[in-house]
Amino acid sequence: MADGRTDVVVTGLGATTPVGGDVASAWAALLAGRSGIGLIEEEWADGLPVRIAGRLRVEPTEVLDRVQARRLDRCQQIALVAAREAWADAGAPETDPERLAVVVGTGVGGVLSTLAQDEVRRTTGARRVSPYTVPMLMPNGPAAVVSMEFGARAGAHTPVSACASGAEAIAMGLDLIRLGRADVVIAGGAEACVHPLTIAGFAQAKALSTRNDAPEEASRPFDAARDGFVLGEGAALVVLERAEFAAARGARAYAALAGAGVTSDAYHITAGDPEGQMRAIRAALSSAGLSPLDIDHVHAHATSTPPGDVTEARSIAEAIGTHPAVTATKSMTGHMCGAAGAMGAISAILSIRDGVVPAVRNLDDLDPEVKLDVVMGGPRRGRVSAALANAFGFGGHNASLILTSP
Residues classed as catalytic = 163, 301, 335
85 CB neighbour count, 10 Å cutoff: 23
Cα 338 from Cα 106, distance rounded (Å): 4
Instruction: Provide the terminal-to-terminal Cα distance of the chain, rounded to the nearest Å.
Output: 13
Cα 113 from Cα 252, distance rounded (Å): 38
H/E stretch holding 229 reads none
Cα 362 from Cα 44, distance rounded (Å): 28
Cα 170 from Cα 109, distance rounded (Å): 17
Identify whether the C-beta of residue 79 lies closer than 8 Å to the C-beta of residue 146. Answer: yes
- Cross-strand bridge partners of residue 38: 53
Q: How far is CA 1 from the centre of its chain?
A: 28
308-318 in b/e burial notation, b at 16+ Cβ within 10 A?
A: bbbbbbbbbbb
Identify whether the C-beta of residue 288 lies closer than 8 Å to the C-beta of residue 402. Answer: yes
Cα 361 from Cα 214, distance rounded (Å): 13
Packed helices 274-288 and 306-319: angle between N→C axes, nearest 10 degrees: 40
Identify whether the C-beta of residue 242 lies closer than 8 Å to the C-beta of residue 7. Answer: yes
Side-chain half-sphere CA neighbours of 366 within 13 A: 16
Q: What residues contact 42, with CB distance under 8 A and at least 6 apart? A: none
What's the order of all strands across the beta sheet hosting 373-374?
A: 156-157, 100-105, 184-191, 234-242, 8-16, 255-264, 397-404, 386-393, 297-299, 325-327, 373-374
- Return the amino acid letter for 64: L
